[in-house]
Amino acid sequence: MDNDRFCPACAAPLVEREEAGRMRPVCSKCGKIVFYDPKVAATCVVEREGRVLLVRRGNQPGYGLWSMPGGYVDRGEVVEEAAAREVVEETGLVVEVGRLVGLFSESGHPVVVAAFSATETGGALEAGPEALEVGFFDLDGLPEMAFPRDPLILRRWREMQGGG
């Protein structure tokens, strides 16, 4: 998952070595250990009349499959603002970000997804440049989803609706 080949400090080649409990890239010249941080992404579950907003992805991974609108949080960006930004970029809808549905991560995978519930406040539904299609779907009639976490996020969201 990590493919840097050269030291960020001195540009000498990196080698894999056990450091601080696991195999990590280490500089062959200056000894700098490279620690990879998780990547944070944010996504929103936006509901309209009992259906949820989905985007048919125009990017890999998951090209042509469906997911909730979302994307990477920029360093220094407020996570909720990133979530709202991704919704308007991909679907044209302006939303107010509400409660955290949960944090979703997988062993061996660099991405941590923060999923929020969000409410429409404006805009007009239109697929953005990175989306092939956008639409609202019944939870019982979902199209093929891009990521294994997507059904988990929607299930958790539905449980939250039921529980108040």
Residues in contact with Zn ion by the rule CB under 5 A? 7, 9-10, 12, 27, 29-30, 32
Active site residue 96: no
Residue of 66, 6, 61 lying closest to 32 (CA atoms): 6
Catalytic residue among 81, 106, 133, 144: 133
CB of residue 7 vs Zn ion: minimum separation in angstroms?
Answer: 3
Cα angle, residue 35 at apex, residues 152 and 31 outer, rounded to 5°: 160
> How far is the CA of 81 from the CAs of 32, 62, 87, 143, in angstroms?
34, 24, 10, 27
For residues 118, 63, 65, 45, the Cα torsion angle rounded to the nearest 10 degrees is -10
The first and second tokens of residue 151, run together, are 């059904």
Which residues participate in catalysis according to the annotation?
133
